[in-house]
Amino acid sequence: MVEVSILPQVRDFMNRLNGQFINGKTVVSQQDEVITITNPATDEVIAHVATATSGDIDYAVDSAHRAFHGGWANVSPAQRGLLLNRLADLMIAHREELAQIETLTSGKLITLSRAFEVDYAVSFLRYYAGWTTRIEGKTVALSLPSANGEKYTGLTLREPLGVVAGIVPWNFSIMIAVWKFGSALACGCTAVIKPSEVTPLTMLRVAELVIEAGIPPGVLNVVNGPGQQVGHALTTHPKIAKVTFTGGMETGAIIGTAALQSGFKRVTLELGGKNAAGFLPDVSPEKTVEGIIEAGFLNSGQVCASAERYYVHRSLINNVAEQLGKRLATLTPGDPMDDESRFGPLANRSHFNKVIGYFTRARDQNLTFIHGGGAFDLPGCYIQPTAVLARSENDELMRQEVFGPVASLLAYDSVDELVTLMNDSPYGLAASLWTNNLSQALRLIPRVEAGTVWVNMHNYIDPAMPFGGTKGSGIGREFGSAFIDHFTEIKSVIMRY
């Protein structure tokens, strides 16, 4: 065991009453409506955060609106990139502090908090910083005839949309927030971020670093509170130009509808998935098992791109199931604040109860549990790593996003059946194909309905690769140059001379 000692600055930050971060300062307007934060690894209350009042929300959006037309508009693209890189430097300088706040709040392993919430988040930020000077319009040759010899020149400008509301879930509270505000700020927009009500802390600390980096007050603001009040008020606020959301499909539909109904706001929605991994028969059972662990068990399965449906050829499925059961037995639970832990708790009690509910119903439906299917007998939200043999593609565990360490396996007989089964879902975020046969993989990729298809790997998300869903997994793409289309508007200019 290599238990990490909590830094004094982390204790101080958790002990004070936090609330919102608006126009460069901490704001706590009310002390009666407070979010109580519980460490999901221990069930201990560790911090309190005041929720935003409607006045706080107006103040945050107004500050962002003023900064959009003032402080941020006057910062050149190159300077914007420099400031985002300075923030990245500061996040690295405060790496351990940010990682500890995140782990204590979300139960994420400290090693994952350092890697994803700081190092990866910083890679994304630097990637966005690199685009600030490359956002360009075009000159256009015009075609209509000229009656009296006059000439026309056409050009397009790419202009930032305005104030962006970023609504963020609890599974990666810094990294996903960076996806939102990094894209927004790089394009010249300003932002108001609403973290999940169960992980409201880490972004407040990042927002302080934003000011330390020299980014003007009001460019990035953070408001906290329940989605249906604070999130909804932001989504429908008249001065918000765009809503970018990552979270569940049902919430995505509510937010998308509200955003359109309140002034046709632009939306980007990333709504998770019920992602499939298809193993062709040339892959050995040993490699299949390692593939399932890679695809489904990172961060205890609380990753939007994780696989939850696994298709294995009928001739191999019993062998794979037996070896998978043995492999899952090696995933023993550990304290997330221990450097050597490899399997942590779920992020909160309500999510834990939801996952246990899936197990209860799967048992009622007589599904075969290969391993797990319950909670560890420990304080905290520890769920056993679980695998089941599904009976058909209609089982609840083959259709609903569980968002936990749960793999459901189903046998297939032919490649055509494999494709049909992989596509049999309202979701379409990501999928993986596992085979040693490259031409087989290349033929299958176009047939798989998903925004990302991995071959012999899963869960690899890179800042340079567009990421987003087809079908019910959402609208729009984050990362790559694709993000620019979603945070800017094209203005056409035509001149006669």
* Separation between Cα atoms, residue 373 and residue 386, nearest integer Å: 6
Closest CA to 324 of 347, 345, 344, 307: 307
Q: Name the E strands within 81-225.
A: 139-140, 152-160, 163-167, 190-194, 220-222
* Separation between Cα atoms, residue 208 and residue 303, nearest integer Å: 27
- Comparison of 205 and 274: residue with beta carbon closer to ligand TXE: 274
Distances (CA, A) of 389 to 308, 446, 468: 12, 28, 29
- Comparison of 194 and 327: residue with beta carbon closer to ligand TXE: 194
Q: Which secondary-structure segment (H or E) carries 192?
A: strand 190-194
Q: Residue 301: helix, strand or coil by DSSP?
A: helix
Burial class (CB in 10 A: 0-12, 13-18, 19+), 140: middle
Residue selected from 97, 270, 308, 449 as contacting ligand TXE according to rule CB under 6 A = 270
Q: What does the per-residue mask of binding to ligand TXE show for 289-328, with x meaning CB under 6 A? A: ---------------x------------------------
- Comparison of 169 and 451: residue with beta carbon closer to ligand TXE: 169
Q: Catalytic site residues?
A: 270
Residues from 180 through 199 that contact ligand TXE (CB under 6 A): 194, 196-197
Work out whether 167 is an interface residue with ligand TXE (CB under 6 A): yes
Distance in Å, CB of 260 to ligand TXE, minimum: 13
Residues from 333 through 372 that contact ligand TXE (CB under 6 A): 351, 354
Q: What does the per-residue mask of binding to ligand TXE show for 82-121, with x meaning CB under 6 A? A: ----------------------------------------
Closest CA to 453 of 308, 276, 296, 283: 276
Burial class (CB in 10 A: 0-12, 13-18, 19+), 316: middle
Contact region with ligand TXE (CB under 6 A), list: 75-83, 162-170, 182-190, 458-466: 162-170
Distance in Å, CB of 305 to ligand TXE, minimum: 8
Closest CA to 224 of 17, 406, 384: 17
Torsion region of 474: left, alpha or beta (phi above 0 gives left; psi -120 to 50 gives alpha): left
- Comparison of 39 and 251: residue with beta carbon closer to ligand TXE: 251
- Comparison of 114 and 194: residue with beta carbon closer to ligand TXE: 194
- Comparison of 351 and 458: residue with beta carbon closer to ligand TXE: 351
Distance in Å, CB of 246 to ligand TXE, minimum: 5
Whether residue 158 contacts residue 484, with contact meaning beta carbons closer than 8 Å, is answered with: yes
Q: Residue 371: helix, strand or coil by DSSP?
A: strand
Residue selected from 53, 171, 306, 452 as contacting ligand TXE according to rule CB under 6 A = 171
Judged by CB under 6 A, the number of residues near ligand TXE is 27
Distance in Å, CB of 437 to ligand TXE, minimum: 32
Work out whether 477 is an interface residue with ligand TXE (CB under 6 A): no
The DSSP line for 229-272 is IIIHHHHT-TTEEEEEEES-HHHHHHHHHHHHHTT--EEEEE--
Q: Residue 357: helix, strand or coil by DSSP?
A: helix
- Comparison of 403 and 434: residue with beta carbon closer to ligand TXE: 403
Whether residue 8 contacts residue 207, with contact meaning beta carbons closer than 8 Å, is answered with: no
Residues from 203 through 262 that contact ligand TXE (CB under 6 A): 227-228, 231-232, 235, 246-248, 251, 254-255
Q: What does the per-residue mask of binding to ligand TXE show for 396-425, with x meaning CB under 6 A? A: -----x-x----------------------
Distance in Å, CB of 356 to ligand TXE, minimum: 13
400, two tokens:
């609903």
Residue selected from 169, 182, 301, 405 as contacting ligand TXE according to rule CB under 6 A = 169
Dihedral over Cα of 257, 258, 260, 261: its sign: positive
214, two tokens:
């020299």
Distance in Å, CB of 474 to ligand TXE, minimum: 8
Whether residue 485 contacts residue 478, with contact meaning beta carbons closer than 8 Å, is answered with: no
- Comparison of 237 and 313: residue with beta carbon closer to ligand TXE: 237
The residues binding ligand TXE (CB under 6 A) are: 167-171, 194, 196-197, 227-228, 231-232, 235, 246-248, 251, 254-255, 270-272, 304, 351, 354, 401, 403
